Structure 1
């Protein structure tokens, strides 16, 4: 076994592709962006045609020799492969090349380890990394005392975890799982509180670097970090969204999606991505200047299916129209419902069109009618007020005289299971029809 370097971010990139792969150039550019986001210095790039993957190296022995020569000549201490390698292939390549080898999954995990800021995010990243590492702890790799946390592919768990054997690693995974379950319960309670308040919920989703965080900041005057990097933000942020015709809503900024997102990472981030699963509406943000945006929609939809959010209604947001040379507008379907909004989050052009579309979609049929509540219906009065459904009210010895103005979808679930309250709401909805 070769002597591993303590750290090193001087990398040679290996880009496997097949003859029928039509998007190899886009994929290469994306991998270069991933490497940039991880902070590595690219010394060289080697393309490798792979029609029948080599079970030993994946890229074939001849190409492996070429990579080894390039790594020695360029004095690289890291080889990054744009594909998911098996543990055996990764280990064989490391022996053959004499430097660390990190595949696509390991690189994405490393970026996530750098970006996580919240307690929950750090737990999720460490859990995903340890599960990934567990498949690579084989005989001869029981104690990786020369490996250090901090270099690409090694960030996250750190030196103490990487020196453990399978048993200790398994115990750590169990411990993290329990801690994460507690955090998820707390987040679930916060989410249920929002559900009880019946405030419409919106979640931003999209391919990474589409401009979700910039749009989030523009809509909420928030301060979420936004940069021209893949996975610039990782932890979800929830803010109040105001000035909509349907009344207030809450909006969540979620992690960007990418093709071949490591399965363990998707599984670990189910709690974070639950913001998308539990939303009333998804704002699917795309880069309008990207010629491959339609294909990337499919990548995002696939991840949404994986997290059980495939059935949540979507409004497509075509962002960066200033780069695409397009005009701000709302596209509607045959029924007049908004399906796509063209805007620029960076310049602010078209943001009012998005607010208009959100108001229409979240508002739906509005209930505008008077409602008399007896004094005994104090809980229902409180729920109506919390939901922003009361436009005016007076009170006397007989109870509240209210004027209701709110979406039907907000009014319907407010009874809280009480039969008398449910009957009052049914009568209100019937009058409003």
Structure 2
């Protein structure tokens, strides 16, 4: 298809949350892939049902349109990966929730100068339904086209609306979502419900204190997200985070947790006696680290809240550090350059723990609860925990022990040189409004 000759074509407006939309689209990894028989069948079905000479399924990238399936356009047949500039398309104007109907493109200033209208295809009419992905964001459109002006009645519009979700389901089936344990159709349904929950403020942050083992004083908190589900009650992360990871919703969810946690801790530092140096640890997933602007998100959260950078610990797990090395290194360097501290979570549980300790030089390491639970069980278990603690301390890291549930564990950790801990012995994770109650007495 000729990409020239568009003239002064009015640009399509960017969608709300354009950066998230693009991240969602690219996570499917289907932009430049081979022809798909299922998509071709849907395209042909749309053309046949609406008695249209042409139909397309396209995906809307940052500044171009990818044709994934084409029926009836000779200039595109055999070139399903063909691209056109985003502004030279009908689909660039499709928005979620409604079908774009163009009865006569030559009478519409948005489309009159398009090459597919003025060129050899001589297209005049278009109707396109949005293809919406698992997180409620636009992926592209299923459209039918005609070379004569025509009206698309309510039945035609409804048929396109009925077919478009099936396109999304096919795209879902091309992905592997074993982590979520859901089929393509289930991922779509559940992800949209999670997106709605995020937008409705149902995702809330609870805080578990980190205490000084020698004084009992709270020195920090870990921010932990919960879903206050209207039907299922308060859900722990295990009930929805695999879905958030698989769907890409962990990015907007993580951003909200970060902003909310920074604001809450900044408020406590200002208003609560004795909390002037409180710190907050916020978990960051591998999916968040892959976003090119993650350091800008962190900087913005600090600026909006007024929280000093050194009061924020970005908490990392081996899973999130397992991405491409150079990209992760650069991202963490940018975050650290803000003055933010890095914390290595679940230390000692993975095969690469020691390599990551050397590579990323975290300010804090968190001894996993499995080592805390094993204290006193055998000399071998005690030796292993002692070795982990001594190594971290010798490398200049602060050490935080997780999962402390009994006083004897706290005493044993103190003897090993661990100064900070969190767990049910001190407090469960609580909402911001419930957290500040009398702290436990000193343990020595």
Q: Same fold (TM over 0.5)?
A: no
If the length of structure 2 is used for normalisation, what is the TM-score?
A: 0.31
